[in-house]
Amino acid sequence: MRNYTVEDLLEAREKRVQQIEQLIKGYGNPLLAMRVNYPGLKKTNKLTMTIIREMGELLSSMFEQKLAFKTLQQGAEGPIFMVVVQEDVFALKRLAVEFEENHVLGRCLDLDVYDHSGRSVSRQELGYPKRKCYLCEDYAQHCVRARRHPEHEVIHYIEEKFRNYRGVKS
């Protein structure tokens, strides 16, 4: 796997935003983007690719007849699964939050929903609380910004959740 820089990460984010805007404009429907909440610059690896592929298949089956477009890409931001879904944007966001909260790998994932103008719909707009850190239960945003937890602890958590998902004992 390629070694990426911070500049690569920033450039990839800009390209993703542009692509999301183009897809929404082209299809006229909301878009769901899924990534693994993986720390550091080595976001594209065997674990993140496996998680995104499998969760992408699961989400595709959930939306079956409502899929207008889907893609799986990899790069500096790690693997990203995107689907344009013929669904009400708030219904789509509710499904995304329920997935994040209830699936064994849900807390390891970031499912962002974008409306018809390309704006990200927040959990708070639907009355859900902000996401909690999976290591300490503070708000995830606080921990990420403060770099509160070492990368290896976050990676270990994701690996453990994946083993639990697969039914493998550590």
pLDDT at res. 1: 67
**pLDDT tens per residue, range 117-127:** 999 999 999 99
- CATH number, domain of 79, equals 3.30.70
**pLDDT tens per residue, range 57-69:** 999 999 989 999 9
* Domain extent at residue 22: 6-129
The answer to the question of residue 167 being in a domain is no
Question: Burial level of 111, CB count in 10 A (0-12/13-18/19+)?
Answer: buried
Q: How many domains would you assign to the chain?
A: 1
State the pTM of this model: 0.93
Q: How far apart are the first and last CA of the chain?
A: 25
Side by side, the strands of the sheet bearing 31-36 are 67-73, 80-85, 31-36, 109-114
Position 133 pLDDT exceeds 80: yes
**pLDDT tens per residue, range 82-126:** 999 999 999 999 999 999 999 999 999 999 999 999 999 999 999
